[in-house]
Amino acid sequence: MTQHSKSWTLKPGAMTLGDLRAVWAAPVKLILAAEAYPVIEASAAAVQAIVAKGDAAYGINTGFGLLAKTRIPDEKLEQLQRNLILSHSVGTGELLSDAVVRLIMLMKIGSLARGYSGVRPLIVDTLIALYNAGIMPAIPAKGSVGASGDLAPLSHMTLAMLGVGDVRVNGELMAAPEALAQAGIAPVVLAAKEGLALINGTQVSNALALHGLFMAERLLEAAMVTGALSLDAAKGSDSPFDARVHAVRGQPGQILAAQMYRQLVAHSAIRASHLEGDERVQDPYSLRCQPQVMGACLDLIGNVGRTLLIEANAVTDNPLIFQDGPNGQAEIVSGGNFHAEPVAFAADTLALAISEIGALAERRIALLIDATLSGLPPFLVRDPGVNSGFMIAHVTAAALASENKSLAHPASVDSLPTSANQEDHVSMATFAGRRLDDMAHNTAVIVGIELLAAAQGIDFHRPLKTSPHLEHVHQQLRQKVPFFDADRFFAPDIEAAKQMVLQGELSSTCKNLFAPLYA
């Protein structure tokens, strides 16, 4: 089973984006803060008191959705919860990645542990045990509309706790009973309300959106690096990055982006070589307006992070147990926190930023291959005509940029009623978050192609050097991809550059420069 390099104590309601990034990036051993257990126990006791009293309470001793008026006898409450999980496990499509599943499990643990969901400590501890053993429930990606919670995918998560279906261990599929037995984890029998508490909630939508957020952060960093490299490759001007220009506008992301660009291009010998005698008055927008565009993306990404962090710490199942009811008694309240509209809006906003990062990078590739604009050899290759150079690599970038424009259409504006019109407006947040992965990979390819093109342009300016930051990036690339001296099988070069973008390698040696992004 999984070996953990470090452990981390989860304090429900107090997770940070840094915590979530760490769990997304690699397995971390979870320990639930001791102070969480009394509130979990009190909430579970309140549910048992409601059952003992015999009053009808939604999700505890009634049916679900439109069947909420159907009273369920006490002797069938465990069967009710098990049936709920089995009947709602209707997902389809590819399985969610381990990184996304870790986020789902972490957020579900944190939500249940806040003590408003009426589950026993056993339920929370079993989820933690699965997580720490590296047993990742096999969760199909499709089948949720983002209200009433992510019912289908969270049901597949819960199946693993019951010892039903498949799980993934070390990347390999395994039958859940076998994996639980190997880890010494006993399957659970769900008590009243526990199944509903496990599958109601926005954790899948939010995990998918967080995955998109963390990918977008890497894309933003990488595209700022490649954009600065393209500026030098095209012998562009750094004057548009002057702090005074951005101060008089006042947009915070733009001001911060301009500061980063100034640092990225500082002390470039290529820039120094054309400070005088350059007949060009202004650069094209894809070079000159980088702080304005990337700064706006930076602001959007920051806003999305704040929304998703709130949701990560939230209690989003239904109904909820409150201990401050009339006469000091626990009260069960039905609401709608499972509706993932905030996540859907956040994911749709993030899609805009991911698309624009790629769109601007594609325009810079087009600029670099156009000898009339860049001053570089046509298509960035010697002996053009015999060699096509970067001609079709740019076509790939254009195709992906166009695809992203279609994918950026907001998912949140759609809704289809479900559950015989009981659930008559839904968020579509799950798709809103899920499509971000495709978009991020598209943009990573575009930025990777720009990295190759800009590095090629820098090579044509030798022996002049670009800035120290950018020289290091150039050297990193050249360790994996040689100078493009003549046409060759190009796809492996593009894949290598894409992986550098996705792994955060372009900013790995200047993390301090990008630290303000995460302030």
**3-state class (DSSP) for residue 424:** coil
Reported pTM: 0.95
> In which region does residue 64 sit, left (phi positive, over 0), alpha (psi from -120 to 50) or beta (all else)?
beta
Q: Which of 208, 281, 200 is nearest to 240 (CA)?
A: 281
Asked if residues 230 and 397 have their Cβ atoms less than 8 Å apart, the reply is no
**Tokens encoding 111:** 């939500």
DSSP readout, 221-283?
HHHHHHHHHHHHHTT--SGGG-HHHHHTT--HHHHHHHHHHHHHHTT-HHHHHTSSS------
**3-state class (DSSP) for residue 37:** helix
Task: Name the residue type at position 456.
Answer: Q
**Which residues have a catalytic role annotated?**
58
| pLDDT given at position 65 | 67
Q: Which sign, positive or negative, has the C-alpha torsion 165, 168, 172, 178?
A: negative
**Tokens encoding 472:** 């290091």
Tokens 């810079």, residue located: 364
Q: Which of 8, 20, 36 is nearest to 312 (CA)?
A: 20
Q: Is cis: bond before 463, omega within 30 of 0? A: yes
Q: Which of 488, 461, 226, 242 is nearest to 362 (CA)?
A: 226
Q: Which of 32, 39, 40 is nearest to 8 (CA)?
A: 32
Asked if residues 156 and 205 have their Cβ atoms less than 8 Å apart, the reply is no
DSSP readout, 283-344?
--HHHHTHHHHHHHHHHHHHHHHHHHHHHHT----SSEEES--GGG--EEE---TT--HHHH
Helix ranges (H only) for 375-428 are 391-407
How far, rounded to the nearest angstrom, does the alpha carbon of residue 474 sit from its chain's CA centroid?
A: 28
Nearest-angstrom CA–CA distance, 229 and 453: 9
Q: Is cis: bond before 319, omega within 30 of 0? A: yes
What's the burial of 282, exposed, middle or buried (CB within 10 Å: 0-12/13-18/19+)? exposed
Give residue-wise pLDDT tens across range 2-34.
Answer: 556 689 999 999 999 999 999 999 999 999 999
Helix-helix angle 151-162:203-233, to 10 degrees: 110
**Tokens encoding 273:** 């070589």
Q: Which sign, positive or negative, has the C-alpha torsion 184, 161, 204, 316?
A: negative
Cβ count near 220 (within 10 Å): 25
CA distance to 51, 59, 74, 333, per residue, from 71 (Å): 12, 10, 9, 17
Return the HEC string of 57-68.
Answer: CCCCCECCHHHC
**Tokens encoding 170:** 């070390």
Tokens 């159907």, residue located: 70
- Residue pLDDT tens, the chain, 519 long: 555 668 999 999 999 999 999 999 999 999 999 999 999 999 999 998 888 887 777 777 777 766 767 788 888 888 989 999 999 999 999 999 999 999 999 999 999 999 999 999 999 999 999 999 999 999 999 999 988 889 999 999 999 999 999 999 999 999 999 999 999 999 999 999 999 999 999 999 999 999 999 999 999 999 999 999 999 999 999 999 999 999 999 999 999 999 999 999 999 999 999 887 777 778 999 999 999 999 999 999 999 999 999 999 999 999 999 988 787 788 889 899 999 999 999 999 999 999 999 999 999 999 999 999 999 999 999 999 999 999 999 999 999 999 999 999 999 998 887 776 777 788 889 999 999 999 999 999 999 999 999 999 999 999 999 999 999 999 999 999 999 999 999 999 999 999 999 999 998 878 888 888 876
**Tokens encoding 275:** 């400070």
Helix-helix angle 151-162:98-112, to 10 degrees: 90
Give residue-wise pLDDT tens across range 487-514.
Answer: 999 999 999 999 999 999 998 878 888 8
How far, rounded to the nearest angstrom, does the alpha carbon of residue 105 sit from its chain's CA centroid?
A: 15
Asked if residues 192 and 77 have their Cβ atoms less than 8 Å apart, the reply is yes
Task: Give the CA count within 13 Å in the CB-facing half-sphere of 44.
Answer: 18
| pLDDT given at position 275 | 83
Q: Which residues pair with 9 in a beta bridge?
A: 31
